[in-house]
């Protein structure tokens, strides 16, 4: 099956040479980009892309999809992370397969409509008897047609052990490792399937024991899967590891074997120079989540200092209860403004943030096959129409557009693995009206 995007006005490739193509054809075969230039041959399907700008699909590197159904709850709006978590766990402990399936459809649907083609999710709430939650996430991703990296998250420290979550959502280390192994063996086959991956992701230093962190790292490395957790999000967390273990967060992670090319942390805000040097030296990455960090008053990630040192940084929306949307275009715009305010001339440019959201994020997931538009890479991309009043003048600088100006509409076309998944801003494979009705019913149950 060969698909042709004919006469694309501008292709922003985000490749290592920052190539931009004008009036180019782009064609895909069997899910991969076969060429960028002038097409001669026969295509099975042709899209007229004159007057459109083509970008690589965004790669989201941190999310909690289930939180889509606890967005904007009045009772937690004034809280910071620890109190916010304690309150929301009382709702999250009632989630089930329907909550996870429908919230995954809705949140990843929103992500994809705004140009995201790969989503990583950090799911760590597994209430007793709630069913096979990761299987339901995989089903939602398959239905949407989005590339999905699921995590087997975990928590083994409840309130009675000095952690934050209630007893009913934590599990024993043996239960967690057995289910992690089951999911890796069922879904993680990168040699033949690039649509699904598994990552092991114990939740955070304050809801997980050191033993679980260590054992998860051993299991992940035995299977060659990656590791992810929250680190350096708040001062409370810093105080927690200092008072409990006598170590700063990164030193604590190092003591557990949690530094390396195969590890990336969410947030990485409260880190000193030495800790940033350690991340750079070990290839440990950071998923930057500006909206969530602002909303929860967590702080500002030292992104310019990280980039200067060569720390790998990707972009992410974080969970829907602390964003409260799932829109990578909005995340780029927010990051742009936040860092301009905080660091002035040192702030990353709009284009640097676009690359962070594409190639940079792909590197965190250890994926060389996504994040840029190049021959041989996966055909994951989105198009927006240049010729519209909203983009007058802004279109003169297509590379910086999402940071400098912002773009606030869903995409005209989105392709994942060469398949059309969004057209005219609407999901191609999911009935949006039915999703709204079913989702509303589940929200009522969960919050009721």
Binding mask 29-48 for Zn ion (x = CB under 5 A): --------------------
Taking the complex as a whole, the smallest distance from the CB of residue 230 to Zn ion amounts, in Å, to 6
Q: For Zn ion, which is the closer residue by CB, 227 or 422? A: 227
Q: For Zn ion, which is the closer residue by CB, 275 or 318? A: 318
Q: For Zn ion, which is the closer residue by CB, 145 or 165? A: 165
Q: For Zn ion, which is the closer residue by CB, 123 or 367? A: 123
Choose the stretch contacting Zn ion; rule: CB under 5 A; options: 235-243, 258-266, 361-369, 406-414: 258-266
Number of residues that bind Zn ion (CB under 5 A): 2
Query: Which tokens in the block code for residue 110?
Result: 């929103």
Q: For Zn ion, which is the closer residue by CB, 10 or 67? A: 67
Choose the stretch contacting Zn ion; rule: CB under 5 A; options: 75-83, 240-248, 310-318, 359-367: 310-318
Taking the complex as a whole, the smallest distance from the CB of residue 287 to Zn ion amounts, in Å, to 9
Q: For Zn ion, which is the closer residue by CB, 91 or 414? A: 91
Q: For Zn ion, which is the closer residue by CB, 123 or 385? A: 123
Binding mask 260-289 for Zn ion (x = CB under 5 A): ------x-----------------------
Choose the stretch contacting Zn ion; rule: CB under 5 A; options: 180-188, 278-286, 316-324, 372-380: 316-324
User: Cα separation of 180 and 139, whole Å?
Assistant: 18
Number of C-beta neighbours around residue 447 at 10 A? 11
Taking the complex as a whole, the smallest distance from the CB of residue 203 to Zn ion amounts, in Å, to 8
Taking the complex as a whole, the smallest distance from the CB of residue 373 to Zn ion amounts, in Å, to 29
Choose the stretch contacting Zn ion; rule: CB under 5 A; options: 25-33, 207-215, 312-320, 379-387: 312-320
Taking the complex as a whole, the smallest distance from the CB of residue 319 to Zn ion amounts, in Å, to 5
Binding mask 350-389 for Zn ion (x = CB under 5 A): ----------------------------------------
Taking the complex as a whole, the smallest distance from the CB of residue 421 to Zn ion amounts, in Å, to 25
Q: For Zn ion, which is the closer residue by CB, 298 or 378? A: 298
Q: For Zn ion, which is the closer residue by CB, 150 or 430? A: 150
Q: For Zn ion, which is the closer residue by CB, 125 or 430? A: 125
Q: CA separation (Å) from 358 to 55, 56, 355, 367?
A: 9, 7, 5, 11
Question: 60 — phi, psi (to 5°)?
Answer: -90, 125
Taking the complex as a whole, the smallest distance from the CB of residue 63 to Zn ion amounts, in Å, to 8
Taking the complex as a whole, the smallest distance from the CB of residue 322 to Zn ion amounts, in Å, to 7
DSSP symbol at 270: S
Binding mask 317-346 for Zn ion (x = CB under 5 A): -x----------------------------
Q: What is the 3-state secondary structure (H, E, C) of the chain?
A: CEEEEEEEEEEECCCCCCCEEEEEEEEEECCEEEEEECCCCCCCEEEECCCEEEEECEEECCCCHHHHHHCCCHHHCCCCHHHHHHHHHHHHCCCCHHHHHHHHHHHHHHHHHCCEEEEEECCCCCCCCCCCHHHHHHHHHHHHCCEEEEEEEECCCCHHHCCCCCHHHCCCHHHHHHHHHHHHHHHCCCCCCCCEEEEEEECCCCCCCHHHHHHHHHHHHHHCCEEEEEECCCHHHHHHHHHHHCCCHHHHHHHCCCCCCCEEEEECCCCCHHHHHHHHHHCCEEEECHHHHHHCCCCCCCHHHHHHHCCCEEECCCCHHHCCCCCHHHHHHHHHHHHHHHHHHHCCCHHHHHHHHHHHHHHHCCCCCCCCCCCCCECCEEEEECCCHHHCCHHHHCCCHHHHCCCCCCCCEEEECCEEEEECCEECCCCHHHHHHHHHHHHHHHHC
Taking the complex as a whole, the smallest distance from the CB of residue 242 to Zn ion amounts, in Å, to 21
User: Cα separation of 290 and 202, whole Å?
Assistant: 22
Taking the complex as a whole, the smallest distance from the CB of residue 133 to Zn ion amounts, in Å, to 17
Choose the stretch contacting Zn ion; rule: CB under 5 A; options: 212-220, 278-286, 311-319, 348-356: 311-319
Provide the binding-site residues for Zn ion, judged by CB under 5 A.
Answer: 266, 318
């Amino acid at each position: 099956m060969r698909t042709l995007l004919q006469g694309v006005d501008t292709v922003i490739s985000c490749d290592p040479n920052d190539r931009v193509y004008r009036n180019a054809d782009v064609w895909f075969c069997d899910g991969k980009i076969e060429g960028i230039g002038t097409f001669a041959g026969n295509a099975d399907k042709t899209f007229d892309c004159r007057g459109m700008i083509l970008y690589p699909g965004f790669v989201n590197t941190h999310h909690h999809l289930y939180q889509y159904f606890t967005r904007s709850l009045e009772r937690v709006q004034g809280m910071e992370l620890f109190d916010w978590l304690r309150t929301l766990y009382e709702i999250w402990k009632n989630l089930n397969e329907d909550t996870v399936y429908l919230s995954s459809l809705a949140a990843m649907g929103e992500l994809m409509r705004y140009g995201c083609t790969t989503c990583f999710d950090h799911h760590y709430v597994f209430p007793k008897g709630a069913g096979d939650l990761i299987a339901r996430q995989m089903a939602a991703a398959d239905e949407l047609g989005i590339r999905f990296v699921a995590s087997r998250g975990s928590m083994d420290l409840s309130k009675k052990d000095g952690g934050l979550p209630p007893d009913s959502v934590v599990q024993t280390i043996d239960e967690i490792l057995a289910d992690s192994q089951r999911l890796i063996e069922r879904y993680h086959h990168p040699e033949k399937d690039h649509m699904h991956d598994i990552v092991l992701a114990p939740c955070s230093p304050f809801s997980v024991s050191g033993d679980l962190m260590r054992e998860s790292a051993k299991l992940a490395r035995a299977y060659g899967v990656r590791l992810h957790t929250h680190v350096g999000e708040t001062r409370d967390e810093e105080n927690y590891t200092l008072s409990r273990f006598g170590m700063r967060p990164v030193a604590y992670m190092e003591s557990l074997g949690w530094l390396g090319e195969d590890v990336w942390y969410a947030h990485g805000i409260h880190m000193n120079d030495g800790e940033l040097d350690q991340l750079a030296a070990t290839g440990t990455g950071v998923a930057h989540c500006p909206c969530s960090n602002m909303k929860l008053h967590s702080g500002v990630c030292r992104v310019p200092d990280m980039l200067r040192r060569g720390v790998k940084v990707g972009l992410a929306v974080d969970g829907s209860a602390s964003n409260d949307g799932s829109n990578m275009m909005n995340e780029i715009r927010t990051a742009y403004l936040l860092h301009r305010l905080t660091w002035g001339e040192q702030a990353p440019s709009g284009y640097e943030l676009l690359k962070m959201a594409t190639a940079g994020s792909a590197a965190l997931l250890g994926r060389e096959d996504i994040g840029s538009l190049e021959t041989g890479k996966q055909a994951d991309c989105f198009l927006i129409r240049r010729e519209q009043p909203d983009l007058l003048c802004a279109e003169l600088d297509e590379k910086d557009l999402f940071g400098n100006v912002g773009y606030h509409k869903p995409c005209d076309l989105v392709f994942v693995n060469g398949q059309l998944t969004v057209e005219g801003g609407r999901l191609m494979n999911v009935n949006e009206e039915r999703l709204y009705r079913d989702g509303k019913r589940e929200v009522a149950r969960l919050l009721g």
